[in-house]
Chain A
Amino acid sequence: QQQVKQSPQSLIVQKGGISIINCAYENTAFDYFPWYQQFPGKGPALLIAIRPDVSEKKEGRFTISFNKSAKQFSLHIMDSQPGDSATYFCAGRPLYKLSFGAGTTVTVRA
Chain B
Amino acid sequence: GAVVSQHPSRVICKSGTSVKIECRSLDFQATTMFWYRQFPKQSLMLMATSNEGSKATYEQGVEKDKFLINHASLTLSTLTVTSAHPEDSSFYICSASIRAYEQYFGPGTRLTVT
Contact = CB atoms under 8 A, between A and B. Distances in A.
**A and B interact:** yes
Tier of interface size on chain A: 10 to 19
Interface in A29-83: 36, 41-46
B70 interface: no
A97 B6 CA distance: 21
Would you call the interface of chain A mostly helix, strand, loop, or mixed? loop
A43 B105 contact: yes
A59 to B, nearest CB: 15
Contacts of B46: 97-98
Given A43-B105, A43-B106, A44-B105, A100 B43 contact: yes
A20 interface: no
A89 B100 contact: no
B49 interface: yes
Contacts, number: 45
B85 interface: no
Would you call the interface of chain B mostly helix, strand, loop, or mixed? strand
A41 B3 CA distance: 17
A101 B43 contact: yes
Contacts of A45: 105
A110 interface: no
Nearest to A36: B105
* Interface-centre pick from B32, B102, B105, B107 (highest chain A CB count, 10 A): B105
11 contacts: A43-B6, A44-B44, A46-B105, A95-B100, A96-B100, A96-B103, A98-B34, A98-B46, A98-B103, A100-B43, A102-B42
Interface of B: 4, 6, 32, 34, 41-44, 46, 49, 91, 93, 95, 97, 100, 102-108, 110
